[in-house]
Chains A and B, each alone.
Chain A
Amino acid sequence: MGFERFGTVSFTSQTKAAPFVDLLDKGIVAGTKCKGCGASYFPPRPDCSKCFSSNMEWTEITGNGKLVSYSKLIYAPTGFEADLPYSIALVEFPNNLKVFGRLSKEIKDEEISIGMDLNIEVVKLPNDRVTYQFKKA
């Protein structure tokens, strides 16, 4: 399905949201929007929990978001040690859309502040893997 290529380590491969990875390959980070009632979702999902529709369209996340919070990890779970230290973060985009991911290592510690402007970029990883991260806007 391709979903097993997402992230540093993958735990699942089967999902109807697998087109997320095809879009990452095109440089696009996308959520889904319900064609039935207009509800927007990130992470993307194939089923609308508001109106029960499974008729969704993919919607690219564009523009800038603001840093809600972050943490720099010195210890990692198994499989992620080679990436240390790395920072996980939550970023809020317009219309209350929040995205979870990592901060780009190009952002120096002293440059990080809650509320700073960030945007999303796709990152190619070794072994044909792919992910996304936040960089300074």
Chain B
Amino acid sequence: MKAVAIVGVGQTAFVRGYEGSIRELAFDAYKEAMLDAGLKAKDIDASIICSAPEYDKQRTPAGTIVEYLGLNPKPTFYVESVCSSSSSGLRVAYSLVKAGLHKTVLVLGFQKMSEISSADSQERMGRGSDVMWEAPFGTMMPAYYAMHARAHFHRYGTTEEDLALIRMKAATYGMINKKAVYQKGVTLDQVLSADVVASPLKRFDCCANADGASCVIVAHKDVAKSVSKKPIWILGVGAATAPITMSGRKSLTGLTCAQAAAKEAYGMAGIKAKDVDVAEVHDCFTIAEMMAYEDLGFAKPGKGKELIRAKETYVDGKIPVNVDGGLLSKGHPIGATGGSQIRTIVLQLRGEAGEMQVKDPEIGLIHNIGGVGVYGNVTILGV
């Protein structure tokens, strides 16, 4: 149902070290989205600020950023679901507009990871899991996803090379994405012979930290039609969770939060997996993209490797996935990632994706996961 649309998108380049403050970083993405939409500050009825906490010193960032953006006295608040914060922000923005509380809502995702030392960054990483029962063993995201890779290899015969093929696709598109943190190509040999981080995942199987911000402007159909020549409609939103503890999980070969979120989003949009023309999935690690193919129904469980081996997820394949470089090449400024994925799909559906343009897409999907499959968020957009 075409009731709520996206009328403006913006994103900063994702970089290793942004030479400015979080409010200036946020402003860069905000400015791009506002110019894209042709709006002024007074046109925004409410905003939602999204990021993961403890990477910079500003407690309660929403209020600070909103002052700098010139959005006072309109309402704002903070939304966090770690790596899917800005998708959760979009879900809330959609709900606020659909409920009739506001006409135009802005979602601003940001993350500045470079202000803390790498020791502190690693300390935060250790507390990303259940701090009472699992963190005391020394856990981190690569290691948890590595357990999923090991289980997937064992159950389905997926190989390290299959994961490397995913990294090579990411690099293919990262090379032509001026906003990506990693714009170099990679060879199969480079990926397979890289240092192990947590077996069986190696350096190139992992996305990099980065600084960045993204902005998505959501509007009621009345505003959308007058403001935008091509509003992109939010057709479906789905969200679900899975236990944060591994001991609470049913299986390690897929993410149930993604399966459930996808089912809800497909149902709301009235479509099936095969109707999706272009997708952005949460490839924080190569195995995460492999599981996404299956969790979203692009391939049956265990058959994800056939898609990548046949290059079906490249721009001219059956189901183009992450043809902007994905998190693997773009980098992963935690709170900004969801908005970046949404922006890529909006540009694709508008026909504004340049060299990465998929041919005439009508339906796009964003799969954005928080933590190791704790928060699943799937959004479906259409022309």
- B113 to chain A minimum Cβ distance, whole angstroms, is 15
Q: Which of B118-126, B227-235, B339-347, B373-381 contacts A (4 or more CB under 8 A)?
A: B118-126
A71 near B147 with CB under 8 A, answer: yes
Interface residues on B, range: 35 or more
B247 near A75 with CB under 8 A, answer: no
1/0 per residue, CB under 8 A from A, across B192-204: the answer is 0001111111000
List CB contacts (< 8 Å) of B224-280 with chain A.
245-249, 252
- B200 to chain A minimum Cβ distance, whole angstroms, is 8
Residues of A within 8 A of B151 (CB): 68-69, 114
Of the candidates B119, B122, B132, B146, the one having the most CB atoms from chain A within 10 angstroms of its own CB is: B132
List CB contacts (< 8 Å) of A105-137 with chain B.
114, 131
Of the candidates A68, A71, A76, A100, the one having the most CB atoms from chain B within 10 angstroms of its own CB is: A71
Residues of B within 8 A of A131 (CB): 136-137
Q: Does any Cβ of A come within 8 Å of B143's Cβ?
A: yes
- B158 to chain A minimum Cβ distance, whole angstroms, is 13
- B265 to chain A minimum Cβ distance, whole angstroms, is 27
A9 near B150 with CB under 8 A, answer: no
A7 near B126 with CB under 8 A, answer: no
Q: Does any Cβ of B come within 8 Å of A34's Cβ?
A: no
A98 near B249 with CB under 8 A, answer: yes
B198 near A71 with CB under 8 A, answer: yes
Q: Does any Cβ of A come within 8 Å of B154's Cβ?
A: yes
Residues of A within 8 A of B136 (CB): 6-11, 131
B139 near A77 with CB under 8 A, answer: yes
Residue of B nearest to A133 (CB): B137
B143 near A73 with CB under 8 A, answer: yes
With contacts A12-B132, A86-B138 taken as known, whether A100 is within 8 angstroms of B247 at the C-beta atoms is yes
A68 to B125, CA, bound (A): 24
A68 near B137 with CB under 8 A, answer: no
Number of interface residues of A (CB under 8 A): 37
With contacts A70-B150, A73-B143 taken as known, whether A78 is within 8 angstroms of B137 at the C-beta atoms is no
Residues of B within 8 A of A7 (CB): 135-137
Residues of B within 8 A of A3 (CB): 132
Residues of A within 8 A of B132 (CB): 3, 11-12, 15, 17, 43
Q: Does any Cβ of B come within 8 Å of A88's Cβ?
A: yes
B247 near A88 with CB under 8 A, answer: no
A73 to B145, CA, bound (A): 12
A15 to B139, CA, bound (A): 21
B148 near A100 with CB under 8 A, answer: no
Residues of B within 8 A of A17 (CB): 132
A74 to B140, CA, bound (A): 11
Residue of B nearest to A72 (CB): B199
A20 to B202, CA, bound (A): 36
Residues of A within 8 A of B140 (CB): 73, 75-77
- B121 to chain A minimum Cβ distance, whole angstroms, is 9
A81 to B273, CA, bound (A): 44
Residues of A within 8 A of B248 (CB): 98
Q: Does any Cβ of A come within 8 Å of B127's Cβ?
A: yes
**A residues within 8 Å of B by Cβ?**
3, 6-12, 15, 17, 42-43, 68-80, 83, 86, 88-90, 98-102, 114, 131
Sample (19) of A-B pairs whose CB atoms are under 8 Å apart? A6-B136, A7-B137, A8-B137, A9-B126, A11-B127, A11-B135, A69-B252, A71-B143, A74-B199, A76-B126, A77-B126, A77-B140, A78-B119, A78-B123, A79-B138, A80-B138, A88-B143, A99-B247, A100-B134
